[in-house]
Amino acid sequence: MNSYLKESDPEIYNLIEEEKKLESEKLRLIPSENYASCAVLETTGSILTNKYSEGYPKKRYYEGQQAIDKIELLAIKRAKKLFGAEHVNVQPNSGSPANMAVYFALLEMGDKILGMNLSHGGHLTHGSPVNFSGKYYNFISYGVDKETEMLDMDEVRKIAEKEKPKIILSGFTAYPRRVDFKAFHKIAESVGAISMADISHIAGLIAAGVHPSPFPFTDVVTTTTHKTLRGPRGAIILCKKKFGKAVDKAVFPGLQGGPHEHSIAAKAVAFKEAERPEFKEYAKQIVKNAKALAEYLMENGFKLVSDGTDTHLILINVVKSKGISGKPFAKALDKAGIICNFNTIPFDRRPPFDPSGVRIGTPAITSRGMKETEMKKIADFMLKVSENIDNEEALTKIAEEVKSMCSEFPAPGIERI
Ligand SMILES: *Cc1c(COP(=O)(O)O)cnc(C)c1O
């Protein structure tokens, strides 16, 4: 297909080739990124992008939905089965609009939501003052324990009992430990709140049974489809039947117009892939790799938030480890061919544009087939970078070694595997 693009728009063609090279030659450690399969990419780039289908299967505002209805129903059926959910909406265009739709469905402006402190791992849409969520709703927060840097459910309960929020939100963007969704739901139930889990980061681990599931008890669950789930850019909302109507109305016509059926079809493809035994092995390996990488990093003198991980994600306290702040370390890693992001850590005293931590994760490198042996090498690369943060020559040399290691692990969607 790219041969058409090469002819009609060489500028964009060449930029895609440039990105392809970056995604193939570098170690992608951003925990929210992955490599979608060739089948998912092919579906995303299909003629389904041509069709308008406002509404829902069998209740559309446009004709000619014979194939589209079947696609969307299949996506819904597969998502229900994969997660064990009663009701699914597969139309949200991304994680942020999915969360927005849930708030629209279940709250009035100004209502109270209890979520995770953003600097302890909550997402922008969990009440950041620069985000719609913080502007239109009254967010209050719980955080992690100062000593263990893990969630303290007694603390969550205390705040919930005092504040009586309408929604209690769990699910995070920078929390490395297992989340007790059942405990969250029980607390919500006891104070008359709706339990909501945003499982964007760990949906693939949950689908594979590697992380405890928020189903069937959690009232409403949102997730992106492009992180550990390895699907296309997009999101879905899963909920109990009694919230289904409100959620559907909030997505369309409340928030979105015509659904992106090319993405919805690609979501269906990803849900089918996630049912396969290979995917379960893949998800297990993501966590094995993260645990191994965490161990090797600690052996190399890195201090990790909560001293380890149960998931795909690791948060390094770089200041405490090496006396460097997050941003220069992330920039030096980039020069060495290792892509991650700087990140605040709980109780960070540094500003968000140069915080104390970097956040890494294993989903993308595990999609390439890397295992524990490579995790040791990555931990050693990272140590070397920390010792050579201003030494351009040394960083370039590490980048060569990284490239050589990456060449042994073909990237799905780029190389045809
Ligand atoms: C990534 C993420 C989102 C937002 O998803 P986008 O597709 O980037 O809008 C929402 N919540 C959590 C917890 C996330 O990790």
Tell me the CATH number at 336.
3.90.1150.10
User: What type of residue is 63?
Assistant: E
Based on the residue annotation, tell me whether 152 is a catalytic residue of this protein.
no
Residues 247 and 355 in one domain: no
Predicted confidence at residue 60, as pLDDT, reads: 97
Cα 61 to the center of its chain, rounded Å: 33
Catalytically annotated residue among 23, 25, 33, 54: 54
- For residue 31, being part of any structural domain is answered with no
Residues 191 and 301 in one domain: no
- For residue 130, being part of any structural domain is answered with yes
Q: Can the peptide bond before residue 253 be classed as cis, meaning omega within 30 degrees of 0?
A: yes
Residue with tokens 């929390």: 175
Q: If you count them, how many residues does the chain have? A: 417
Residues 261 and 294 in one domain: no
Mutational pocket test of ligand 1: of 198, 206, 222, 343, the residue with most ligand atoms within 8 Å of the beta carbon: 198
- For residue 22, being part of any structural domain is answered with no
Last residue in a domain, options 238, 273, 308: 273
Q: What is the pLDDT of residues 169-197, one digit of tens each?
A: 999 999 999 999 999 999 999 999 999 99
Residues 228 and 288 in one domain: no
Query: Does an H or E element contain 261, and which?
Result: helix 261-275
Q: What is the pLDDT of residues 135-174, one digit of tens each?
A: 999 999 999 999 999 999 999 999 999 999 999 999 999 9
Residues 232 and 300 in one domain: no
With contact defined as beta carbons under 8 Å apart, do 182 and 207 qualify? no
What percent helix, strand, coil does the chain show, rounded to 5? 50, 15, 35
Residues 224 and 108 in one domain: yes
Cα 210 to the center of its chain, rounded Å: 15
- 97 alpha carbon – ligand 1 mean position (Å): 9
* Rounded CA separation 39/397 (Å): 36
Give DSSP secondary structure letters for 23-81.
HHHSEE--TT-----HHHHHHHTSGGGG----EETTEESSS--HHHHHHHHHHHHHHHH
pTM: 0.97
* Rounded CA separation 377/368 (Å): 15
Residues 92 and 205 in one domain: yes
Based on the residue annotation, tell me whether 54 is a catalytic residue of this protein.
yes
User: How many separate domains does the chain show?
Assistant: 2
* Domain membership of residue 73 as a residue range: 41-273
Q: What is the pLDDT of residues 325-381, one digit of tens each?
A: 999 999 999 999 999 999 999 999 999 899 999 999 999 999 999 999 999 999 999
- For residue 415, being part of any structural domain is answered with no
- For residue 16, being part of any structural domain is answered with no
Residue 2: pLDDT band by 50, 70, 90 thresholds?
Answer: low
122 Cα nearest atom in ligand 1: 13
Residue with tokens 């600097």: 119
For residue 139, the cross-strand partners are 113
Residues 341 and 252 in one domain: no
* Rounded CA separation 232/43 (Å): 9
- 166 alpha carbon – ligand 1 mean position (Å): 21
Residues 294 and 160 in one domain: no
- 71 alpha carbon – ligand 1 mean position (Å): 25
Residues 244 and 358 in one domain: no
Based on the residue annotation, tell me whether 52 is a catalytic residue of this protein.
yes
- For residue 25, being part of any structural domain is answered with no
User: What type of residue is 257?
Assistant: G
Residue 415: pLDDT band by 50, 70, 90 thresholds?
Answer: confident
* Rounded CA separation 186/191 (Å): 9
Based on the residue annotation, tell me whether 222 is a catalytic residue of this protein.
no
Residues 220 and 320 in one domain: no
- 123 alpha carbon – ligand 1 mean position (Å): 7
* Rounded CA separation 149/309 (Å): 11
CATH number, domain with residue 157: 3.40.640.10
What is the average per-residue pLDDT within 48-54? 97
Mutational pocket test of ligand 1: of 94, 117, 123, the residue with most ligand atoms within 8 Å of the beta carbon: 123
Predicted confidence at residue 3, as pLDDT, reads: 85
